[in-house]
Structure 1
């Protein structure tokens, strides 16, 4: 719960501090501008609110790790991926997108703080505890924080503890640890295909390099 709050607060603060001109810069998500990514975050926040008010009374079927699955890397052909830029453009000025993100994002943060970690909720045809659900989203927020600042070198990075937690989640999902020589940030960027490894990093990864990138969905 604490890691969720830290990752979400850091991401919301990073968006709030962006100058308007940065919304037109590319993000770390291929084909998306920063404004498109922020629009995607609005939808993600809404999904969390919906899940937190969708109780379940059956046993959990997934946890914070198995909530995610390794999928084929996105091709850009998903209808929702194509819809996001049109939705983002409809806001017009960045201030309206910022306002909506802050409004929904604040509600999401409050709902997470008030939720019972042991309660069970249902989403994506699965059941899991609130605590596991929110911990799973540490990965989502941290990776998208890296996407947000991919071409904004002066923007603040995600908190160190959420980078470490996201690395741990990704390693458990892959069933293989990243080399200790890789920083948490580099492990995440390389592991998810957000940047290519150097020759030295590829050598350190060994056979694991053949399995990259790890696309999570």
Structure 2
């Protein structure tokens, strides 16, 4: 749960450092500008708040790793994705979008600090402990932090401990380890399809190469 807070705070700080003009630049999410990604983070923060106030007595069905499912790579045709693009454009002033993220994001961070890690919460029809739910969200924050800085080299990237944790989670999901000499960021970028592996990298990956990307949803 502490890693959730550190990852989320680092991502919000990175957004705060993005210049207004850079909100119109492409992000690492295919088809999304930086402003679209930031708008998505606002919705993510709302989801965290909603989930943490939705306790349940149902039995746990998922943990921090099994929360994530391997899905078909996004095509850009999902209605919610299209809504996010329109909503992000409607903000107009990047400062308003930046403010909304920090306003809702700080509340989500505070709610996470106050949450009982053993409390069971429900989201998307699944039940997790609050601790596992927040641990799962480290993957969300870390991947989107990489998306944010994909074409903004002057903005700080995600914390090293978040990258390491997410690499471990992705390897658990994949059921195999990635090459040991690969950086954690490279594993996440290639593993989730944010970057296409080179021929040499595919040779290093071996059999897992044909299973990539591991798009998570």
TM-score category of the 2 structures, normalised to the smaller one: over 0.9
**Deviation per residue, 1:26-67 (Å, 9 max, x gap):** 000111100000000000000000000000112201000111
Distance (whole Å) between structure 2 residues aligned to residue 102 and residue 47 of structure 1: 15
Alignment of 1:52-63 (within 5 A): 52-63=52-63
Deviations 1:195-216 (A, max 9, x none): 1122221111011111001100
Instruction: Determine if the alignment matches structure 1 residue 9 to structure 2 residue 28.
Output: no
How far apart are the structure 2 equivalents of 1:128 and 1:14? 29
1:94 aligns with 2:94: yes
Match of 1:183 in 2: 183
Cα deviations across residues 45-92 of structure 1 (Å, max 9, x unaligned)?
A: 000000000001122010001111000111111001111110001111
Q: For the residues of structure 1 that align with 2:145 and 2:161, how far apart are their CA atoms?
A: 14
Question: Using the alignment, how far apart are the partners of 2:31 and 2:93 within structure 1?
Answer: 20
Question: Is the deviation greater in 124-133 or in 167-176?
Answer: 167-176
RMSD of the alignment, in Å? 0.7
CA distance in 1, matches of 2:212, 2:174: 10
Q: Kindly tell me the number of residue pairs found equivalent between the two proteins.
A: 217
Alignment partner, residue 150 of structure 2: 150
Structure 2: distance between partners of 1:64 and 1:83: 28
TM-score w.r.t. structure 2 length? 0.99
| Structure 1 residue matching 2:132: 3-state secondary structure | helix
Cα deviation, residue 179, structure 1 = 1.1
SS in 2 for 1:194: coil
| d(CA) in 1 for partners of 2:177, 2:215 | 16
- Structure 2 residue runs of 5 or longer lacking an equivalent are none
